[in-house]
Structure 1
Amino acid sequence: MIFRQLFDSVSGTYSYLLASRAGGEALILDPVLEKADRYCQLLRELDLRLVKAVDTHLHADHVTGLGELRDRTQCITIMGEQSKADVVSMRVSDGDKVTIEGLSLDVMYTPGHTDDSYSYLMGDRVFTGDTLLIRGTGRTDFQNGSSRAQYESIFNRLLKLPDETLVFPAHDYKGDTVSTIGEEKRYNPRLQVRNVDEYIELMANLKLPNPKMMDVAVPANMHVGLHQEELAKQGLALSARDAIASLGRPDILLVDLRETGERAKHGTISGALHAPYPAIAESLKPGGMLREVAAATGRRVVFFCAFGERSAMAVAAAKNAGLANTAHIEGGLDAWKKVGGPVVQG
């Protein structure tokens, strides 16, 4: 496995690059905007293809690199379903899995630092975001934070993991790089409390100043979505209502870009062809499935995904591949459901 822990000294942020092999798919956790050049250089050096970028929560101390990496690599952006970010490609919830070739991360909802805080468990290690830090815990005094919720997340979720589980947080300000669940149980001063009330009192008396970047980072991180308006201006987008009206038309081919787990969880549209987004480039090449189907049928390919971000990128990829007769459903299945579009479950 390829594993790199990357550090931004300005914000004290750790980002993590993961892949199962050289030449394969990669995932990055908690990227920082100013480090995008470094990430892309490392991807080239390690011969990796970034397919997913994940934020553990809406950060207040740095501007996320999600949008920049999406624009540079056409990767899928991922946050928790509670996130206030305007648009990401995929929203996950507790119990889901985030997968790339050869690797799988279990999604754990661990609110408290913020109401959209998640941790990601991968085998012998857990990426705890700002929920559990090395010899500390994330503050709980803004962004709908809750000391009570954080106590539950830490004591009843994270500390239930095996003691030897490696802890990789999103931040550290002392130079520590890794800990274990067992170490934190024994030596983390904020965890030496007898009950939740003691923890709430401890957190209430920290009286920390706001992060220096908070007034810049939070608004910026709430607006990371790919702008879809330009495709609509070019006639390359269908509103959800127009897409519903086109159901059953022989000249339209609906293509679902979501992953199998998303389809099982949220349903799909009857008659849609399944072509997961990570393989879109292969599918659009001469001889590729989508290219051949479009050529054989003459139908207009209309992509859709969860929220419209992957489908917008697919339209651009199709254009670059020489397949012009495409469009996407603005807002994805989310918009489709909101206006009463029929969905097949199971």
Structure 2
Amino acid sequence: MLFRQLFDAASSTYTYLLADPASGEALLIDPVFEQSTRDLSLLHELGLTLKLVVDTHAHADHVTAAWLLKQKTGCQIASAAVINAEHVDLPLQHGQRFGVKGVELEARATPGHTDGCMSYVLSDESMVFTGDALLIRGCGRSDFQQGNPHTLYHSVVEQLFSLPDSCAVYPAHDYNGRTASSIDEERRCNARLGGNANEADFVGYMQALKLPHPKRIAEAVPANLRSGCPQDGQLPPEPDWSSDLRMTYAGIPEVGPQWLMEHRDAVTLLDVREPGEWQNEPLPAQLDSVVQIPIGSLADRVAEVPQGKPVVALCRSGKRSSLATGILRGAGFEQVASLHGGVLPLAQH
């Protein structure tokens, strides 16, 4: 199985990618709306097809990307049936098995943080994705959104601590940079539930917490009951100067050589190679009127780049031109892209 743990710094949310390399089918757990471009870029670069998006609960600190990813890929959406969220294709019940080809999960109801909290256990019980029910050395709060510390205690002890000691714990959040734990570690060392703590110990701890409500709760909860669909039901606006514009997982905007050849007059072409390369590897004749500034000089000479059209930067292989896009964006250029693959594929056109 292919596995990736992704992080959203704004909400300290972990998104998990699970995929079967043989079939290319993939699922995402707890995707974040603002990170959808990153997630789609990773799927594209790994040659994967997104088939399923799964939320562990109706989050209060961020908006899920479930609906947005469904619009982009045609994938299905899964979450706990008790949430009764809109746009859900697979309402999950406790004990239900689901997934994609080559990756099977078991849904375990783990309420207490919210009524609709679910944890997802990999079929061989080597991993569990605990949402906010069980965090690394902690747990989700239980003071709003149907929270109940008694319920949460039983959820963790009966549904999660009953898993094998070696089962790896992957939570929906961590605020201290910790990435994973194990059932054994949390059963022994969890600051709220571990060791010899009983239900009274845990409930007393949780009831004594005085935490401010999440900053985005008024926005996030209603949106997540719509699976992340905006109130107007419209996709967020995207740059429209190129139909071929794509963002890489590294965060680089790119266009392909075919698009460039067909839309040469619509862009400013910036060649960031060295002068010797300009002479020894000239561009095709149809790519005329090129602005030539070596990458090492670009930051000091950025004022020489015309701003009337979108800018496409190129170099031999697309590496230096990717750096050029960052320099240009830092200088205030909004419509910029690197030529995917650089000069090398242009010979085929």
TM over 0.5: yes
Cα deviation, residue 77, structure 1? 0.3
Q: In the alignment, residue 20 of structure 1 is paired with which amino acid? A: D
In structure 2, what is the equivalent of residue 53 of structure 1? 53
Asked if 1:209 is matched to 2:225, the reply is no
Q: Distance in 1 between matches of 2:43 and 2:157?
A: 36
SS of 1:95's partner is: coil
Q: Is the 8 A contact 2:23 2:102 kept in 1?
A: no
Q: How does 1:150-165 map to 2 (within 5 A)?
A: 150-165=152-167
Q: Is the 8 A contact 2:65 2:228 kept in 1?
A: no
Cα deviation, residue 212, structure 1? 0.9
Cα deviation, residue 224, structure 1? 3.0
Q: Distance in 1 between matches of 2:116 and 2:109?
A: 8
Q: Deviations over 1:292-331 (max 9, x none)?
A: xxxxxxxxxxxxxxxxxxxxxxxxxxxxxxxxxxxxxxxx
- Cα 1:226–1:170, aligned 2, differ >3 Å: closer, same or farther? closer
Q: Distance in 2 between matches of 1:23 and 1:47?
A: 10
Q: Deviations over 1:30-50 (max 9, x none)?
A: 000000000100010000000
Asked if 1:141 is matched to 2:132, the reply is no
SS of 1:219's partner is: helix
> What do you get for the CA RMSD once the two structures are aligned?
1.6
Q: In the alignment, residue 207 of structure 1 is paired with which amino acid? A: K
Q: How does 1:89-104 map to 2 (within 5 A)?
A: 89-104=89-104
In structure 2, what is the equivalent of residue 218 of structure 1? 221
Cα deviation, residue 198, structure 1? 1.9
In structure 1, what is the equivalent of residue 200 of structure 2? 197
Q: Is the 8 A contact 1:84 1:222 kept in 2?
A: yes
Q: Distance in 2 between matches of 1:22 and 1:72?
A: 23
Q: In the alignment, residue 169 of structure 1 is paired with which amino acid? A: P
Structure 2 residue runs of 5 or longer lacking an equivalent are 234-349
TM-score by length of 1: 0.64
Q: Is the 8 A contact 1:4 1:16 kept in 2?
A: yes
Q: Is the 8 A contact 1:119 1:126 kept in 2?
A: yes
In structure 2, what is the equivalent of residue 73 of structure 1? 73
Q: Distance in 2 between matches of 1:48 and 1:20?
A: 9
Aligned residues: 228
In structure 2, what is the equivalent of residue 116 of structure 1? 116
Q: Distance in 1 between matches of 2:75 and 2:128?
A: 23
- Cα 1:212–1:225, aligned 2, differ >3 Å: closer, same or farther? closer
TM-score by length of 2: 0.63
Cα deviation, residue 87, structure 1? 3.1
Q: Is the 8 A contact 2:223 2:229 kept in 1?
A: no
Q: How does 1:1-346 map to 2 (within 5 A)?
A: 1-21=1-21, 24-122=24-122, 123=124, 124-192=126-194, 194-224=197-227
SS of 1:59's partner is: coil
SS of 1:191's partner is: coil
Q: Distance in 2 between matches of 1:225 and 1:210?
A: 20
SS of 1:160's partner is: coil
In structure 2, what is the equivalent of residue 272 of structure 1? none
Structure 1 residue runs of 5 or longer lacking an equivalent are 231-346
Q: Deviations over 1:25-81 (max 9, x none)?
A: 100000000000001000100000000000000000001000100000010000101
- Cα 1:182–1:102, aligned 2, differ >3 Å: closer, same or farther? same
Q: Is the 8 A contact 2:66 2:228 kept in 1?
A: no
SS of 2:202's partner is: helix
Cα deviation, residue 90, structure 1? 1.1
Q: Deviations over 1:87-138 (max 9, x none)?
A: 3111011110112111100110111110000000002010000000001000
Cα deviation, residue 195, structure 1? 2.1
Cα deviation, residue 226, structure 1? 7.3
